[in-house]
Amino acid sequence: MNASHVITAVCFARLDVGHELENSNPQIIGAATFSGSIQGGIVTFALHTAVLTAKDPGEGLIPWLETRLGDDRTTLAGFELKESVRLLKTLPRARSSAAVRNLGGRGRTIIDMGADKDGEPITLGECCAELSIPCATPDPARDFIGWCTGRGEKIVDTLQLDVIAVWRLAMHQIAARSSLGFRVHEVIEGHLATWLRAADFPAAAVHLEALPSAQL
């Protein structure tokens, strides 16, 4: 990660809200961003989440994304972003959204870690398992209840756990590009461990326990 550069992971909560009625209607019901940056030799992190309820219009996420993805120094990272971008583009305000254009790869560096193995898609869980990075287990029934009732705490927990996982996957990918990258990665993870120790949300404790640098 270069000086004065930002790497922001983006994670979306997708839910087929019509599944229970046997009328498929996939929607994005939440999003999270996790950013790591270096400025003046200081490493900082920032985590943000937004979750919709059944009463909220889907395009309500668009202005939230605009405020989180507007820095032109930012490298964006995600997992299977193409499907999320496709769903975002169905929203009324998406056509004029710089954030949606950026997520689609226009004018912005994108690390999209969706992958295939032997012609079959690899899940986020499978990618994380290979690197011993924790992530959430999908639970559509729980998310549907949370979306309907406006009690989205578990959706928030899932987004926070997964977006930090996506950021760490991206950092592993960047580190693999050079021998020096692995050393830089170790330093960054040390700073991440310090940040996680001071945090007070469940996903922080889960990731902290799994960080090798936290055990030193």
Instruction: Assign 109 a pLDDT band (cuts: 50, 70, 90).
Output: confident
Q: Is 46 helix (H, G, I), strand (E, B) or coil?
A: strand
pTM of the model: 0.91
Instruction: Assign 110 a pLDDT band (cuts: 50, 70, 90).
Output: confident
What Cα–Cα distance (Å) separates residue 172 from each residue in 28, 166, 189?
Answer: 27, 10, 10
Structure tokens at 171: 């950092």
pLDDT for 128-177, tens place per residue?
Answer: 999 999 999 999 999 999 999 999 999 999 999 999 999 999 999 888 87
* Cα distance between residue 25 and residue 39, in whole Å: 43
Q: Can you give the CATH number for the domain in which 12 is found?
A: 3.30.420
CA dihedral 103, 108, 109, 115 (to 10 degrees): 20
Q: Which amino acid, 213?
A: S
DSSP secondary structure letters along 101-158:
HHHTTSSS-EEE--EEETTEEEPHHHHHHHTT---PPP-HHHHHHHHHHT--HHHHHH
Q: Which amino acid, 175?
A: A
What Cα–Cα distance (Å) separates residue 6 from each residue in 45, 73, 76, 106, 115?
Answer: 9, 6, 9, 17, 24
For residue 36, pLDDT over 50 is answered with: yes
pLDDT for 46-104, tens place per residue?
Answer: 999 999 999 999 899 999 999 998 666 688 999 989 889 999 999 988 888 889 988 98
- Among positive and negative, which fits the CA dihedral 136, 139, 142, 144? positive
- Which residue range(s) make up the domain with 150? 5-215
94 close to 86: Cβ distance less than 8 angstroms: no
Specify the number of domains making up the chain: 1
Give the per-residue pLDDT at 3: 45
